[in-house]
Structure 1
Amino acid sequence: MGRKFFGTDGIRGRTNQHPMTAEMAQRVGQAAGAHFQRGDHRHRVVIGKDTRLSGYMMETALISGFTSVGMDVVMVGPVPTPAVALLARSMRADLGVMISASHNPYYDNGIKLFGPDGYKLSDDDELAIEALLEEAPKLVDASAIGRSRKIEDARGRYIHFAKSTFPEELRLDGLKIVVDCANGAAYQVAPSALWELGADVIAMGVTPDGTNINDGCGSTAPAALQARVVAEGADLGIALDGDADRVIIVDENGKLVDGDQLMAVIALSWAKRGLLEGNGIVATIMSNLGLERFLQANGLDLVRTAVGDRYVLEGMRAGGFNVGGEQSGHIILSDYATTGDGLVAALQILACLVEEGRPASEVLHAFDPLPQLLKNVRFGGGAPLETEAVKAAIAEAEKRLNNVGRLVIRKSGTEPLIRVMAEGEDEKLVEDVVDSICEAVKAA
């Protein structure tokens, strides 16, 4: 059975258009609240958000939904997505909710749900909630309506947690770090945590106004950070996305370091220290073949999954791995967190730099990636991948790449996009096959 509302990362869409309306948010609160009311204790949900203008509207609607079915609500304000997962578990809540569309523009929003264990919901839970969305809500008696309250120290609790993941014997003294918080959820916590660990911090993207989240800043638009790192003579740049569950690093020369390189560095460091579990890592089909070859050369394994950090996490839990992630910068370190955490991943990278005592450009270039090209084609409707012309273009591309590269084509789970990726030894061939498929999709 397919999911009607949930994508690869919760429910997401343009605000005030179905399904991302206040009415729908209220229904999600009622359905999820009913689904997770298990046991005879007082039921509780933790709700966080990023800095989007629509966050207030969605938060209010969710509170209305949850309280109407008898759940108490704890509001924690603007915090990173991993903070919601952490707080939901530490506060013994039945459910955690993050209101965010991650790296999308401000006019989009989304609802991410976490279970009492701090993990994103399973397919079964999402399907059960979707079924309840089709039914009349189970409203409680007036005497049983839930209460809501706000806690003021949520950001402090998360900062303390993030710092606890950094080795106690190390400090960041002497390191100049530029951090770009994307005018998003980490605009307070990330600069504070880095400063408290001793770094000289230059903060960007820390003046959210409700509409500037991810706007020319953050992990999906790092050009300003790259320039700032070079201009300031900084040792490193850190770019987070709107809800701070992903990270991209910039070295001292302004060169981007993606999630594949970060996973390689962490995996090798942890393996040397006897901390790496599963003798390898988990990554998606989008990760570069160079990463796989690097790990193999060091006696480590790479297990690939479908795109989406939830599938990475499933692979990690199934295989007993404690490091996994995506090329886009979602890094999951299950020793510390139940979901991707950009700040915690950055702190592990910083620990490697401090221990090595070498520039970021040397430490963070673990392998030479194979030529890889990813292009997105926006579509207005229908199923372009099912047309005969597109199928023929894909078949021809696979034939040309046979034994010399990889081809990955998929529909985005969060946006109306077809993503076309190819990689191989021959950069010109890679470019040609991607362009040919993109043209076929556009024509369809």
Structure 2
Amino acid sequence: MGHLFGTDGVRGLANADLTPELALSLAQAGARVLASARSGSGRPVAVVGRDTRASGEMLEAAVCAGLTAAGVDALRVGVVPTPAVAYLTDHYDAAFGVMISASHNPMPDNGIKFFGPGGHKLADAAEDAIESALDAAVQRPTGEDVGRVRDADDALDVYLRHLAGIVHTSLNPVTVVVDCAHGAAYLAAPRAYRTAGATVIAISADPDGNNINDGCGSTHLDQVQAAVREYGADLGLAHDGDADRCLAVDATGEIVDGDAIMAVLATSMKDAGTLSDNTLVATVMSNLGLHLAMTEAGIAVRTTGVGDRYVLEELRAGGYALGGEQSGHVVIPSYGTTGDGILTGLALMDRMASTGKSLAELASIMHALPQVLINVRVADKNVVAQAESVKQAVALAEGELGATGRVLLRPSGTEQLVRVMVEAATAEQAQSVAERIAAVVEAA
């Protein structure tokens, strides 16, 4: 068996790669590794949530079967965002949490990710231990020691009450369009924003099990852009399938990506005195424009590898108060242990309401350098990324760009792709350099 865990859990084509049998085995292995570390009496409990994919029903049943067969009670919280599972794992004092979702991936895919005690993402060592435990021979509990399945009917309400704490100014002046991606945000996001006082226009909020991320959400911003213009809204927010991401558009429909959102929130927290060490944590994918804007604002930027788990590790290690990714994963540790798209949307609108400024005004502190990203499908991403011809092409481009740009080439964490990202002084130069490197990658 190859390495199962990617940058964000185990993902694959549901019922082909990610089968019910594998889901059951993963749940059992996760129970052995994570529940064994729990102290206290009584059976351990695991929170189980999912997004709206049809295959989630099948995989939820398999996960619950695996948990109970391992002597763990499964507490089902239904269709909720991934960050809700993280929060509820801590709220219910559960041994661990399980989220069934493939995030922004197309509907046929699905995934399983684990949260440890307190709702924290697992370290690599814990994921390795779960994978090693898949084939371990153990004696299963019987009789009264078999786990039980029950539902937490108050789960969504508990999570929404938690989110309300981030808003300090009524959002009554704000009209927002929210694209729920027909996913896990479809109930939670409109309710959270309305509770905070905003006028909410919800789109892509009618999931049928098959339409998640289908031409909508954070990977297809044209729908929310059009709706903002149509309704004359102050802004639009777009979530992905499991609502751990948030991207925005301003009143004119201009995109405000994760970097710009972090710039707005970092300056807001610095003004409030809540930005620890005046430091923001971002990944290597963040635009140079973010670094320049933060330098101008007197804010340091700590850089990590790609993936919100690495942002989280840096946040925890340094005790920092804000971090995230250009893709819209934003983490505010005082309110959550992982990226939370709805929390991000609330914080952004709170800044608008408290300053009386438009999103365009707030986001104008950052000027992004032209950036081009080309994904090249290859047979073996790791071999190609290390090919000598590819290294030479990157070195040549870096010499050409000098201090006016940069090149980032990396294998995808979830697919057989090599990602070529180029920033340059002009869009034409960025496109030309990226295409030249991509051609070398394709031929390698």
TM-score normalised to the size of structure 1? 0.96
* 1:28-71 per-position Cα deviation (integer Å, ceiling 9, x unaligned): 11101011223352200000000001001111111111111100
- How far off is 1:425 after superposition? 2.0
CA contact (8 A) 2:173 2:353 kept: no
Alpha-carbon distance between aligned partners in 1 of 2:218 and 2:34, rounded to the nearest angstrom? 34
Alpha-carbon distance between aligned partners in 2 of 1:370 and 1:319, rounded to the nearest angstrom? 28
* 1:372-419 per-position Cα deviation (integer Å, ceiling 9, x unaligned): 111111224463223343333223222322333211111111122211
Is 1:166 paired with 2:167? yes
| Structure 1 residue matching 2:5: 3-state secondary structure | coil
Query: 1:222-237 residue pairs with structure 2 within 5 A?
Result: 222-237=221-236
Alpha-carbon distance between aligned partners in 1 of 2:129 and 2:399, rounded to the nearest angstrom? 42
Worse-matched range after superposition: 37-46 or 215-224: 37-46
CA contact (8 A) 1:290 1:367 kept: yes
Alpha-carbon distance between aligned partners in 1 of 2:247 and 2:222, rounded to the nearest angstrom? 12
Alpha-carbon distance between aligned partners in 2 of 1:290 and 1:203, rounded to the nearest angstrom? 32
Worse-matched range after superposition: 62-71 or 126-135: 126-135
The corresponding residue for 1:143 is 144
- How far off is 1:215 after superposition? 0.6
The corresponding residue for 1:23 is 21
The corresponding residue for 1:36 is 34
The corresponding residue for 2:328 is 329
* 1:336-383 per-position Cα deviation (integer Å, ceiling 9, x unaligned): 000000111111110110112122211222211111111111224463
CA contact (8 A) 1:34 1:138 kept: no
* 1:220-250 per-position Cα deviation (integer Å, ceiling 9, x unaligned): 1010110110011111101011000010011
The corresponding residue for 1:9 is 8
CA contact (8 A) 1:409 1:418 kept: yes
Alpha-carbon distance between aligned partners in 2 of 1:127 and 1:236, rounded to the nearest angstrom? 42
Alpha-carbon distance between aligned partners in 1 of 2:251 and 2:297, rounded to the nearest angstrom? 27
CA contact (8 A) 2:259 2:286 kept: yes
Q: 1:429/1:137 Cα in 2 relative to 1: closer, same or farther (>3 Å)?
A: farther
- How far off is 1:206 after superposition? 0.7
| Structure 1 residue matching 2:349: 3-state secondary structure | helix
Alpha-carbon distance between aligned partners in 2 of 1:237 and 1:134, rounded to the nearest angstrom? 47
The corresponding residue for 2:401 is 401
Alpha-carbon distance between aligned partners in 2 of 1:251 and 1:274, rounded to the nearest angstrom? 26
The corresponding residue for 1:349 is 348
Query: Which runs of no fewer than 5 residues in structure 1 stay unpaired?
Result: none
Worse-matched range after superposition: 429-438 or 381-390: 381-390
- How far off is 1:137 after superposition? 4.5
| Structure 1 residue matching 2:218: 3-state secondary structure | coil
The corresponding residue for 1:361 is 360
The corresponding residue for 2:262 is 263
Is 1:83 paired with 2:84? yes
Alpha-carbon distance between aligned partners in 2 of 1:320 and 1:151, rounded to the nearest angstrom? 32
Alpha-carbon distance between aligned partners in 1 of 2:88 and 2:221, rounded to the nearest angstrom? 30
Worse-matched range after superposition: 156-165 or 337-346: 156-165
Alpha-carbon distance between aligned partners in 1 of 2:392 and 2:356, rounded to the nearest angstrom? 52
What is the number of residues matched between the two proteins? 440
Worse-matched range after superposition: 26-35 or 412-421: 412-421
Query: 1:261-340 residue pairs with structure 2 within 5 A?
Result: 261-340=260-339
Alpha-carbon distance between aligned partners in 2 of 1:331 and 1:386, rounded to the nearest angstrom? 30
CA contact (8 A) 1:30 1:137 kept: no
Alpha-carbon distance between aligned partners in 2 of 1:240 and 1:222, rounded to the nearest angstrom? 10
The corresponding residue for 1:196 is 195
The corresponding residue for 2:134 is 133
The corresponding residue for 1:247 is 246
The corresponding residue for 1:413 is 413
TM-score normalised to the size of structure 2? 0.96
Query: Which runs of no fewer than 5 residues in structure 2 stay unpaired?
Result: none
| Structure 1 residue matching 2:343: 3-state secondary structure | helix
* 1:7-46 per-position Cα deviation (integer Å, ceiling 9, x unaligned): 111111111223x111111011110101122335220000
Alpha-carbon RMSD: 1.5
Is 1:432 paired with 2:432? yes
Q: Calculate percent identity across the aligned residue pairs.
A: 46
The corresponding residue for 1:155 is 156
Worse-matched range after superposition: 54-63 or 422-431: 422-431
Q: When you count helix as a share of all residues, which structure comes out higher? A: 2
The corresponding residue for 2:109 is 108
The corresponding residue for 1:389 is 389
